[in-house]
Structure 1
């Protein structure tokens, strides 16, 4: 058990973990959508347009409302602490930069023109939440005069009344799911098109390699990428292990929407074609 957990009220320790999980979901979904955009922007303009539009919609629906709620609820509590005042002011400045990047995405004449801004948005947001997770949230959780649990409850109340989504199911999206039985996975066999035997061309499908993605962001990154896959198309997932818990979560999250076909089964790399029916 960490010092933070020992020195915090139990409800604040739980709230801290929930806030970190929510940040991981947001950062992961953003990373997945940006990765898909960068992957297809030069080879499939039609798909890139849809992914671009979905990325902007995600920012408007989830990312920007989240930053606004933080400024309204979390930041004032931390700004009153002398040791955090300058940090909070710098984080508010980063919120302005995030908003500017989203506006640039929204007004980009084409997905290709938005690619650089999309990547910059991803990098800045990941750095931003790292500061919140490492500095702001622990400080609030350890301060006896502040209830982090109550602050987060107020944030969620504000978001629930607007366009943001903060349901318990979303927080569960980044947790390990139950192992999926082999029979639950659709296996179509074949080579996936890599041998020229008549299968779909592998190069026509974007590939998401999560082997280097931090574990806390991995599942949410896949969810974000899948949300960007248009119906009737597919993406290839590259993972460092057999992703049975992830497949179970995908099915729980979107019953019957995605099929899974193994293209490679270890021992070091697993490759799956995830098709959007």
Structure 2
């Protein structure tokens, strides 16, 4: 007998979705552990002088750099995909509110002028970040694994690519006519998440995607653009873009 095949059992280490989910959990766990290690130097140890200043600087650098980069990448890859499905849209709204609070506290940390204020902001950030990452790993990731059209291994690779400083592949045209209806919208939102401000892609569909436009408005407000290039009767082409940042 020649050749071999790998047997994948759902929910075990042989399951690609399970492995990808574990990789995503490990990444968020590393971010939280690194933050808490640096925060402890500021909030728990009685450092003085240059040692205290150095600990403060390292914490601010991490929060402004790696932590903020992780939140941005997770929002582009994970939240944006889940925002495209009614079952997870409210969850994403809640996560983005918490994420906004995290980012505002990072800014507060950066602007703190005294060690006491830095310590206070660091403690607040610890609580917010812990809540956000716990919801991401315990609620969002299982929801994505069950969401039709969401490919968790692809999402894990996309997140890793962004964190490594790479760029995501950006297909100019997304033709969803052969994709089952229940799986289309997460794919489309995932494609939108890859856009930089001012970029766009063409969606090809076999019906007028007016319900999709309502979902985009609910998820992104005025941050997207929508322009019909072809309007039936058998094929619709819509250019969907991410609004450019004002100069």
TM category, shorter:
0.5 to 0.7
- Correspondence 1:126 to 2:130: yes
In the other structure, the counterpart of 1:109 is 113
In the other structure, the counterpart of 1:139 is 143
Q: Which has the higher contact order (CA 8 A, sep 6+)?
A: 1
Secondary structure of 2:150 counterpart: coil
How many equivalent pairs are there? 158
Query: Which of the residues 36, 41, 46 maps onto 1:31?
Result: 36
**Runs of 5+ unmatched residues, structure 1:** 163-277
Secondary structure of 1:109 counterpart: coil
Pairwise CA distance, 1:17: 0.5
Pairwise CA distance, 1:142: 2.6
In the other structure, the counterpart of 1:205 is none
Distance 1:158 1:32 in 2: 24
Instruction: Please list the CA deviations of residues 117-148 of structure 1 after superposition, one character each: whole Å capped at 9, or x if unmatched.
Output: 10110111111111111111011123342111
Distance 2:37 2:24 in 1: 20
Instruction: Please list the CA deviations of residues 29-87 of structure 1 after superposition, one character each: whole Å capped at 9, or x if unmatched.
Output: 111111111123x5513211111110111112211011111111111211122221111
**Runs of 5+ unmatched residues, structure 2:** 1-8, 167-247
Distance 1:9 1:72 in 2: 27
Pairwise CA distance, 1:98: 1.1
In the other structure, the counterpart of 1:44 is 48
Distance 1:43 1:125 in 2: 24
Counterpart contact for 2:23–2:156, Cα < 8 Å: no
**TM-score, with structure 1 as normaliser:** 0.53
C-alpha RMSD of matched pairs (Å): 2.1
- Correspondence 1:151 to 2:176: no
Pairwise CA distance, 1:9: 8.5
Aligned CA distance change for structure 1 residues 55 and 144 (closer, same or farther; 3 Å): same
- Correspondence 1:84 to 2:88: yes
Distance 2:108 2:147 in 1: 38
In the other structure, the counterpart of 1:66 is 70
**TM-score, with structure 2 as normaliser:** 0.59
